Structure 1
Amino acid sequence: MSPWQQRPPNGSAAGGPGPRGNGTGRAAERGSAVAIPLTMMLAGVVGNALAMLLVSRSYRAKGSRRKRSFLLCIGSLALTDMLGQLLTSPIVISAYLSGRPWAAMDPSGRLCDFFGFSMTAFGLCPLLIASAMAAERALAIRAPHWYASHMSPRATERGLLAIWAAGVALALLPLAGLGRYSLQWPGTWCFISTAGGSAFAAAFAALGLLSLAVTGACNLATVQALVSRCRAKAGGAQPGSRWGRIATETLLQLLGITCVLAACWSPLLVTMLRMVSEHGAGPCRGTPGGSQRWELRRECHLSLTAVRLASLNQILDPWVYLLLRRILLRRVRQAASAVSKCSSAECRDRDRDRDRSFTLSEEIRRTAA
């Protein structure tokens, strides 16, 4: 999902005639504007490819049997995000660089249908996978015995296949006559039409918000279980400083995941529900005039910004879930060690405790990502 262009390819409203001017200047302007989506696409592809590489190495490593379900979820999320960018970003960039209206580039409308299908399928599947990952973490922490006896890589594979099948099936509904994909402002991308209070658009937005709610609830349940276990360790015979550190790290990770998902997807999903409830075709369909022009232009920019935030999620996912996690946590530990006033003996004891707890810490991070 990468509709990052600020202006339509023709320089005016979608489908309208563009301004006349120097051809070299227009080409330079298009090249400058397209640098943003191109950079974002490359960042997303590189990040997700690196995430899949690290997941593949961890999956083949010895002793990874207990964490393979989580690794499958991470790898599937990275693969889904990367495919979504590879299928949509080149079309948007090509549409902008061509300098032609979408109707001239896609007279049959099939490219618009394909673009809308890709936006829908590869926008919904990451949300559903994130919910599945949150549920997997909650079960691993709150019901470890059930998790150990029922969860397996094969069961995880079946669940991921079911998620992909559900996302593809939902995205195919407009092609079967239930709903419609239409060209969106500023004329460089297509998505679900909200005209006439579309039930399909409402279903997409409601399912997305439900996925966000499930992810947040499961992550909060995981945090609550970790905090309770940390307090039990602190009140027991053994010191609970190690569990306190692990719970704090996990809390930060889960809060980061939840905040990124909510910040990226909530504006778009709420905007879609608002448009459906108003039974309108969106604020950017008409030809405003007079005093309404500025307000409608502002609404157009707000709607486009919401879609851009959703597309950012595909770029941030690998960094939030995998790549920056260990780097940031290592830096936090180094900073905490530098400011703490512990004796050399205490520091050596802490290092030995950290070495002994490496396996447990990795398991908690694996299940609480």
Structure 2
Amino acid sequence: MSPWQRCEPLPNATGRAAEPCGAVSVAIPLAMMLAGMAGNALAMLLVSRSYRAKGSRRKRSFLLCIGSLALTDMLGQLLTSPIVISVYLADRAWDAVDPSGRLCAFFGFAMTAFGLCPLLIASAMAAERALATRAPHWYATHMSPRVTRAALLAIGAAALAIALLPLAGLGRYALQWPGTWCFISTGAGSAAFAAAFAALGLLSLAVTVGCNLATIGALLARCRARAPRAGRPWGRIATDTLLQLLGIMCVLSACWAPLLVTMLRMTWGHSLEHCRAVPTPAQGSAQHRDCDFFLTAVRLASLNQILDPWVYLLLRRMLLQRCCQAASAVSHCSNANCGARATALSEETRRTAA
């Protein structure tokens, strides 16, 4: 039997059994899966069209990174979300869905590989943007789609190798609170593996933030130098890029930092082994809050798979359209002038992207 109690329906005011909690809880993973698949599929479609378009040679490395990120996020959701939905439909009885325990190991492997891979890709994209902005001549000489593909393959191979470490006896995957998902165990014999995953994830976040800050600094310096000559269009483009980079840092940090920091705390002795027994009010609300916070941290990390395509690609196009509409409303320009302004702004953005 699973170490967690099954989710039992509670009686309502009339004394009858209320709707099973599994039927209500399943809405969260189902909605997250559908939203993530739609956003990532749209992002891959736009990347594919942009990659084949003429004049995209300068930004093909960046497009390859975005496409790989969207593909990785979608694969992670396709491999894990159906399992979570099945467990919720079984009233959170994991042993009813996975009596052999092998599915738990696969789930933990997918969570680790497809959680670490987007973090590494995000840091690689931040480094690519920093090089393109701060060292454009070196970037034009040494960077190419071939180098980008090799780097992405190396990132994927590294993530898979780390996720396969439990097969070599270095760590293990275990069922986590509230019995609907599996991940790296932080108990005895697996603390080093959990700490390595958390440390590598935090290092990736630090590289992403550092490179994005370097890019923002270079853009601000270039904007001040070009402002007298370039006028308002360059200012708009620089502002859009700065907002996008700030959004990337905020979203990535907010989604991943809670989980990674919590895992480090757990490996340093703040264990959540008490979550293996369902906390009751008699055991204290503090323990219950710890277990719920860990679950919330994992959901935030999963939410990053949904937000990635919007922050990296889709939101930027929407932002450009909004800027054009706002400028049109203020200046009362004609439709023809507005269309010309939008076209000019889009062309300038393509020339300066990546």
Q: Specify if TM > 0.5.
A: yes
State the SS of the aligned residue for 1:284: helix
Matched-pair identity in %: 68
State the SS of the aligned residue for 1:16: coil
State the SS of the aligned residue for 1:183: strand
**How much is the aligned-residue C-alpha RMSD, in angstroms?**
2.7
Partner of residue 362 from structure 1, selected from 346, 350, 354: 350
Residue 352 of structure 1 deviates from its aligned partner by 6.8
**Aligned residue in 1 for 2:211:** 218
- Contact 1:80-1:126 within 8 A present in 2 as well: yes
Residue 61 of structure 1 deviates from its aligned partner by 1.4
Give the direction of change, closer, same or farther, for the CA distance of 1:258–1:173 in structure 2 (3 Å limit).
same
Give the direction of change, closer, same or farther, for the CA distance of 1:351–1:239 in structure 2 (3 Å limit).
farther
Q: After superposition, where does 1:103-252 map in structure 2 within 5 Å? A: 103-196=95-188, 198-235=191-228, 238-252=229-243
Q: After superposition, where does 1:329-344 map in structure 2 within 5 Å? A: 329-339=320-330
Give the direction of change, closer, same or farther, for the CA distance of 1:182–1:26 in structure 2 (3 Å limit).
farther
Residue 239 of structure 1 deviates from its aligned partner by 4.2
| Counterpart Cα distance in 2 of 1:288 and 1:358 | 55
Partner of residue 268 from structure 1, selected from 243, 259, 266: 259
2:248 corresponds to 1:257: yes
Residue 269 of structure 1 deviates from its aligned partner by 0.5
**1:36-68: CA deviations, max 9, x gaps?**
211110110111111111111111112222211
- Contact 2:22-2:92 within 8 A present in 1 as well: no
- Contact 1:14-1:185 within 8 A present in 2 as well: no
Residue 110 of structure 1 deviates from its aligned partner by 1.0
Aligned residues: 348
Give the direction of change, closer, same or farther, for the CA distance of 1:201–1:100 in structure 2 (3 Å limit).
closer
**Aligned residue in 2 for 1:16:** 5
The one-letter amino acid of 2:85's match is I
Give the direction of change, closer, same or farther, for the CA distance of 1:281–1:179 in structure 2 (3 Å limit).
farther
Residue 100 of structure 1 deviates from its aligned partner by 6.1
- Contact 1:223-1:247 within 8 A present in 2 as well: no
Partner of residue 89 from structure 1, selected from 81, 89, 104: 81
State the SS of the aligned residue for 1:190: strand
**Aligned residue in 1 for 2:54:** 62
| Length-normalised TM-score, structure 1 | 0.86
- Contact 2:272-2:291 within 8 A present in 1 as well: no
| Counterpart Cα distance in 1 of 2:342 and 2:224 | 19
**1:245-265: CA deviations, max 9, x gaps?**
221111111001110000100
Q: 328-337 or 351-360: which moved more?
A: 351-360
The one-letter amino acid of 2:322's match is R
Give the direction of change, closer, same or farther, for the CA distance of 1:291–1:31 in structure 2 (3 Å limit).
closer
- Contact 2:324-2:341 within 8 A present in 1 as well: no
| Length-normalised TM-score, structure 2 | 0.90
Residue 115 of structure 1 deviates from its aligned partner by 0.3
**Aligned residue in 2 for 1:318:** 309
Q: 292-301 or 71-80: which moved more?
A: 292-301
2:34 corresponds to 1:36: no
| Counterpart Cα distance in 1 of 2:81 and 2:18 | 21
State the SS of the aligned residue for 2:276: coil
The one-letter amino acid of 1:360's match is E
Consecutive unaligned residues of structure 2, counting only runs of 5 or more, are none
| Counterpart Cα distance in 2 of 1:42 and 1:180 | 30
The one-letter amino acid of 1:272's match is M
| Counterpart Cα distance in 1 of 2:343 and 2:87 | 54
